[in-house]
Amino acid sequence: MTMRDHAAAADAGAVEEILLSARAFTPAEIEVAKELVLEHAAKGAAASGYHFLLTGDGGRVEGYICYGPDACSDGGAWHLYWIAVHASTRGRGLARRLLAEACARVRAAGGRALYAETSSTPPYAAARGFYEHGGFELEARVRDFYRPGDDKLIYTLRLAGR
């Protein structure tokens, strides 16, 4: 299993395949995820603000994480924009390894917390479980954010001492 920290434009297709395999994301969400890959590939992590870690075997991307610093904070607040593994590779600890490596890099950059947002609807139950099992705490609920009955949930992972 290899891990790399640069997404290439060609990785947009792999990201799309991973997200489609989850059967949870809307077409608009998948397009945003691909746009972040392309932004990072064109400008790099520092200029785009989007950091990537991609993991896989034999040249196939099986999972990825996209995260970055909040431009309006003092550098201590970071966002977890995306974390996903292909449905065929779930249960092997890839997401936990991606998150652990991203947290180590965020801490090294002076980050004190990682913030993740997700939906309150049933297709996102696995994401909520992953966050809660990984030490994230539910920080806020914004009712009817995405659409009526679909709340935005904001989770926080404090990095000090982890």
20 domain residue, yes or no? yes
Helix-helix angle 11-22:27-48, to 10 degrees: 140
pLDDT of residue 155: 98
Q: Domain range spanning residue 35?
A: 2-113
* Pure H helices in the chain: 11-22, 27-48, 94-108, 125-133
pTM: 0.94
Residues of the chain with pLDDT under 70: 161-162
Number of domains in the chain: 1
Q: What is the CATH number of the domain that holds 11?
A: 3.40.630.30
119 domain residue, yes or no? no
Round the CA-based radius of gyration of the chain to a whole number and report it.
Answer: 15
154 domain residue, yes or no? no
> What residue type is assigned to position 162 of the chain?
R
26 domain residue, yes or no? yes
d(CA 30, CA 72): 26
